[in-house]
Amino acid sequence: QRYLAHIITERRLKTLALKSLPKELDAWSASLPKEQWVKPSEELLTLNQQLTRAYERGLRFTEMGPVSQWQPNRQEKQRSKGGRGRHKSGTLL
């Protein structure tokens, strides 16, 4: 059995609150047309394929290790980074 105040509050949330949104916010939150969607990069598509194959082999996400190891240009990125950040030579500081 619910209290009358709960029923009134639920009604306000469902009807009155939705009507009070500004028109700008409603327009901003509208979905983009498919022509404006960003296409996934080749690197992302390749990584998704590798992860799909790993799942098919029975690997779980927790057993895969860092996903950065799966990226093809990992060595180049590490060299260009020059040891900045928390990770140095593949180990935590």
- If 0-12 CB within 10 Å is exposed, 13-18 middle and 19+ buried, where does residue 51 land? middle
Domain boundaries, the chain: 42-81
pLDDT of residue 41: 92
* Each residue's pLDDT tens digit, 47-90: 889 889 988 988 887 877 777 777 666 655 556 655 555 555 55
Token pair of 64 as six digits: 């895969």
Contact status, residue 67 vs residue 47, Cβ threshold 8 Å: yes
- The sign of the dihedral angle between the CA atoms of 79, 84, 88, 90 is negative
Task: Provide the whole-model pTM.
Answer: 0.42
Distance CA 42, CA 73 (A): 12
Among residues of the chain, what percentage have pLDDT more than 70? 65
